[in-house]
Amino acid sequence: MDRSLVKISTQGGDRRRRITKALRVSAITQVAILLGALSLLGLDARTQAFAISQGEVAAKLSYCLDCHGPSGQGYHGYFAIPRLAGQQTAYLENQLRAFVERRRPNQIMSNVAHVLSPAMIAALAADFRSLKPRPAADGPRELVSSGEKIFQEGVPDANVAACAACHGPQALGTGQIPRLAGQLYPYLVKELSNWGSERGQIPSRPDSSAIMGPVAHSLSEAQVRAVAAYLSNMK
């Protein structure tokens, strides 16, 4: 065989081997980069999962309790601050977002909520859910009987359905429907009496609170006070 042909053949083989080797190195490098990226993503996910410690949650919870009272039992003051103990987690999470998004106007709570991460919101909601203090029992006892009738049976003449239909016969709530049992009497009166200015301030983004608008507006002042008295005395 002509030596020049052998040389050309050999050079071609060397070239193919170099190309194959380069491709192999490139593939290995790309895999390494991909694995490294996935490793970093995994690390980031783990970091986020453990981004808040129990100490951080406890510190934030203690801050919340400065206003909402020991064990989240609420506070009687110039303005009634609601009881959060035993509240539904989904409801608490939704309301904290509502403060941030201005669906529910409250300057103090907007400032508090907007710095909370989703993980912290979930942790605080779970902690409040686990607290179980005694009922506020601060509503007029003479109104409890009439309030119970409204809560359990509604007001047919005013086209108001039974409150128990959504909040449950024990007023414990579920999901985004709040627990009302044991809530502070003045807070319940305030919320029901001022529903239109307290909730649902962005009509284009309604949430579960929208269903309460017609109900609250259909109750007389005396009926609001009766229901609030009944609920404040429930366990």
Question: pLDDT at position 200, please?
Answer: 82
3-state secondary structure of 81: strand
**pLDDT tens-digit series, residues 142-192:** 999 999 999 999 999 999 999 999 999 999 999 999 999 999 999 999 999
Determine contact, residues 219/160, Cβ cutoff 8 Å. Answer: yes
Task: Please indicate whether residue 9 or residue 61 has the higher confidence score (pLDDT).
Answer: 61
Burial class from Cβ neighbours inside 10 Å (0-12, 13-18, 19+) for residue 43 reads exposed
Those residues with Cβ within 8 angstroms of residue 120's Cβ, 6 or more apart along the chain or in another chain:
52, 56, 57, 60
Question: pLDDT at position 173, please?
Answer: 97
The Cα 148–Cα 227 span in angstroms is: 7
Alpha-carbon distances of 79 from 76, 88, 108, 122, 190, rounded to whole Å: 7, 23, 12, 26, 10
CA neighbor of 68 nearest in space, from 87, 91, 42, 45: 87
Question: pLDDT at position 13, please?
Answer: 52
pTM: 0.76
The Cα 17–Cα 13 span in angstroms is: 6
The Cα 170–Cα 152 span in angstroms is: 9
Question: pLDDT at position 235, please?
Answer: 87
Model confidence at 137: pLDDT above 90: yes
Those residues with Cβ within 8 angstroms of residue 93's Cβ, 6 or more apart along the chain or in another chain:
121, 122, 125
Question: pLDDT at position 208, please?
Answer: 80
Question: pLDDT at position 202, please?
Answer: 84
**pLDDT tens-digit series, residues 98-136:** 999 999 999 999 999 999 999 999 999 999 999 998 899
What are the residue boundaries of the structural domains of the chain, listed by start?
A: 1-50, 54-232
**pLDDT tens-digit series, residues 12-51:** 555 555 544 443 444 434 434 433 443 444 434 333 444 6
CATH topology classification for 54-232: Cytochrome Bc1 Complex; Chain D, domain 2 (1.10.760)
The Cα 24–Cα 35 span in angstroms is: 16
Question: pLDDT at position 185, please?
Answer: 98
CA neighbor of 233 nearest in space, from 137, 140, 157: 137
Question: pLDDT at position 5, please?
Answer: 42
Buried b (16+ CB within 10 A) or exposed e, 118-143: eebbbbbbebbbebeeebbebbeeeb
**pLDDT tens-digit series, residues 58-99:** 999 999 999 999 999 999 988 999 999 999 999 999 999 999
The Cα 232–Cα 210 span in angstroms is: 23
CA neighbor of 167 nearest in space, from 151, 156, 154: 151
Question: pLDDT at position 211, please?
Answer: 87
Task: Please indicate whether residue 32 or residue 221 has the higher confidence score (pLDDT).
Answer: 221
